[in-house]
Amino acid sequence: MAKIEDGDTGVVGGLVRAAFLVDAVYAESARVHGLTPQQGQLLCVLLGRSYVMGELGGVLRLAKSSLSGLVDRTERNGLVRRESCEGDARAVRVALTAEGAVLAESFYAETCRRVDELPAGFSAEERELLGGLLGRIVRENKVPPVFGESG
């Protein structure tokens, strides 16, 4: 394998290292808010609307047992609630509680601020180009909206 200089990462190295960097920022923001990164992700997804468990599992890309455990823990903390679904007694919908919505908004805003600082040295044109290219990768790979859109 060829040695790559620290600043010369290429597409694969750049995307992987950027993913690690964003994950670290996300995890630190979650820690500050008393959440796990997975709970933070759950709260952010639920900011937009409530979800039926099966649908939520698809958005978060979690197996049923993992999703149930995540919702259980987050529900015990008073941040989400389970609701019955009209028309389907077997289906369960997950929604934010009032406390969960406040925490989700705070976590979301803080995490967006921290991630937005990562390309702080970029010009407006470079930020627009980066956003467009990353948006294209996300669209072409059909990544579901997990974290809301931010400048």
The per-residue pLDDT for range 15-26, each reduced to its tens digit, is 999 999 999 999
Q: Model-level pTM?
A: 0.84
User: Per-residue pLDDT tens for 63-110?
Assistant: 999 999 999 999 999 999 999 988 777 889 999 999 999 999 999 999
Q: How much is the mean pLDDT over the chain?
A: 90
Q: Report residue 137 as tokens.
A: 């990768």
> Does the 11-140 domain belong in CATH 1.10.10.10?
yes
* For the chain, domain boundaries: 11-140
21-27: long-range contacts, CB 8 A cutoff, minimum separation 24:
21/118, 22/115, 22/118, 25/111, 25/114, 25/115, 25/118, 26/111, 26/115
